C-alpha cells in the first residue's frame, strides 16, 4: 500500500464524527470525492452523495459507507467538573473504562479526557465481578469545577470520540485505528469512484457517505430515497472470527482472506440474484471472498433494500477485530480486494444485467 493510500485512511480515521455530528468526516469525504464526481449533493439529514455519470441512459447504482462512528455525547457537568455522557451506538462497558477520549466543543476546541469510575478498592465483590454500569461512568477532563469546564467551552450536546493513534502494527499488513467502522467503507467508496472515472462504466454511479448508521441506519433511508437507485450496496465492516477463543459458529471470517459477502444479518436477507452476481465476478477474477452471517446487527443495506418500493441490495464488508471499541484492526489486503471487487462489479452493471438481476 502506497503513502497516498495510507494518508487517505489516516485522514478518514483521524476525523471525528459521531451520529448527528459527522461534519468533519463529511468534509474529508467531499475533499476526495469532488475530484472524481460530476456533482456532489446532500440529503436533508446530512448524508453526502457523489454522482458520476458513465452512461446517462444506464441504470443507477449506489454504493455507500457511513460517516459516523460509535462515540458519546456530553449530557451534563457535575459541580466538581466531571462530565456525564450518553453512548451513541453500541458500546460494551468492558472496553470503556480508563480509555482516553476527546471532547469537541461548539467552537471546535478539543478537550482531552479519560473515562473513569469508582476505584475497584471501594466496590463490593458483587459489583467488581460484573460489568460496570455505563450510567455510573464519567469523563475526567482535569477541571476542578463546573464553571471551569464551561469556561473551557464544554457544554451538553458536545461530541465525544475515542482517542487513538493510527498506525501499522509493526511491519505487518494489519492496520490499527479508531473508527474503521466505518471509515474503511468510506475509503472503499472513494477509491471505487476514482477507479470508475479512470475506466468508465455503463451506468450512473453514486458514491455516498450516510449519516447516523450506528443509531438505526437512518441516513441510508434518506440518501437512498433521494438517489432512487436500481441497485444498492452497503460498504461496511464485519465481525472477525480469527482471535483466540472464537468459534466458527460465532464468526468464521479471518483477516486477510478477502471481503465478506453478507448473506444474512438481522436487518436483511441478501438479494439472491445480486449476491450470486457478485460472487460470480469474484470467482471470475480470482478475488478472495468470504460468505458471512451476522446474527445480531446489520448494515445500511437493511434500510436500502426497503426504500421506496424496494430494490436489490447487498452488504460487502471488511472483517474487523475489536469492533465498537476505541481501537480496531483490519488487514490491508481485505481493503484492497474490496475496492477491486466493488469496482469490477459496478463496471459490469449495465442495463441488461441490472434488469436480469431485478426481474430474472
For the annotated binding site for Zn(2+), the residues are 66, 181, 214, 236, 324
For residue 110, how many other CB atoms are within 10 A of its CB? 12
309-328: b or e for each residue (b if 16 or more CB lie within 10 Å)? eebbbbbbbbbbbebbbbbb
Residue that the C-alpha cell 453514486 belongs to: 206
**Which of 99, 136, 113 is CA-nearest to residue 324?**
99
**Which of 89, 48, 93, 87 is CA-nearest to residue 69?**
89
Q: Which one is catalytic: 22, 213, 332, 344?
A: 213
Helix ranges restricted to H, the chain:
3-14, 23-33, 125-128, 146-151, 180-199, 218-227, 272-284, 301-304, 332-347, 351-359
**194: annotated active-site residue:** no
DSSP per residue, 105-173: -TT--EEEEEEE---GGGS-HHHHTSPPPGGG-EEE-S-SSHHHHHHTT--TT-EEEE----EE-TTSS
Mapped onto helix, strand or coil, the DSSP state of residue 277 is helix
Q: Which residues pair with 87 in a beta bridge?
A: 72
CB 177 within 8 A of CB 260: no
Residues carrying an active site annotation? 213
Amino acid at each position: 500500500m502506497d503513502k497516498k493510500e495510507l494518508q487517505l485512511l489516516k485522514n478518514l480515521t483521524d476525523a471525528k464524527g459521531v451520529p448527528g455530528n459527522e461534519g468533519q468526516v463529511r468534509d474529508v469525504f467531499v475533499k476526495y470525492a469532488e475530484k472524481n464526481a460530476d456533482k456532489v449533493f446532500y440529503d436533508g439529514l446530512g448524508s453526502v452523495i457523489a454522482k458520476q455519470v458513465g452512461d446517462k441512459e444506464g441504470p443507477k447504482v449506489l454504493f455507500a459507507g457511513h460517516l459516523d462512528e460509535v462515540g458519546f455525547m456530553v449530557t451534563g457537568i457535575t459541580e466538581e467538573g466531571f462530565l456525564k455522557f450518553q453512548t451513541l451506538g453500541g458500546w460494551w462497558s468492558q472496553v470503556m473504562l480508563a480509555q482516553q477520549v476527546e471532547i469537541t466543543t461548539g467552537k471546535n476546541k478539543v478537550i482531552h479526557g479519560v473515562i473513569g469510575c469508582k476505584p475497584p478498592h471501594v466496590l463490593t465483590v458483587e459489583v467488581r465481578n460484573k460489568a460496570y454500569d455505563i450510567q455510573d461512568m464519567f469523563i475526567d477532563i482535569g477541571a476542578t469545577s463546573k464553571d471551569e469546564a464551561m469556561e473551557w467551552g464544554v457544554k451538553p450536546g458536545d461530541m465525544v470520540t475515542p482517542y487513538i493513534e493510527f498506525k501499522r502494527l509493526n511491519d505487518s499488513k494489519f492496520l490499527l485505528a479508531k473508527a474503521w467502522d466505518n471509515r474503511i467503507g468510506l475509503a472503499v467508496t472513494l477509491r471505487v469512484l476514482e477507479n470508475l472515472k479512470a475506466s468508465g462504466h455503463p451506468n450512473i454511479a453514486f458514491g455516498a457517505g450516510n449519516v447516523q448508521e450506528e443509531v438505526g441506519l437512518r441516513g441510508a433511508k434518506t440518501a437512498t430515497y433521494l438517489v432512487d437507485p436500481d441497485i444498492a450496496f452497503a460498504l461496511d465492516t464485519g465481525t472477525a472470527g480469527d482471535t483466540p477463543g472464537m468459534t466458527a459458529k460465532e464468526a468464521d471470517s479471518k483477516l486477510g482472506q478477502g471481503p465478506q459477502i453478507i448473506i444474512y444479518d438481522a436487518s436483511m436477507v441478501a438479494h439472491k440474484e445480486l449476491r450470486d452476481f457478485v460472487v460470480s465476478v469474484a470467482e471470475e477474477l480470482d478475488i478472495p471472498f468470504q460468505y458471512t452471517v451476522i446474527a445480531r446487527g446489520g448494515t445500511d443495506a437493511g434500510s436500502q433494500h426497503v426504500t421506496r418500493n424496494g430494490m436489490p441490495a447487498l452488504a460487502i464488508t471488511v472483517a474487523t477485530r475489536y469492533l465498537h471499541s476505541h481501537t480496531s484492526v483490519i488487514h490491508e489486503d481485505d481493503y484492497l480486494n474490496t475496492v477491486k471487487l466493488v469496482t469490477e462489479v459496478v463496471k459490469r452493471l449495465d442495463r441488461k444485467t441490472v434488469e436480469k438481476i431485478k426481474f430474472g
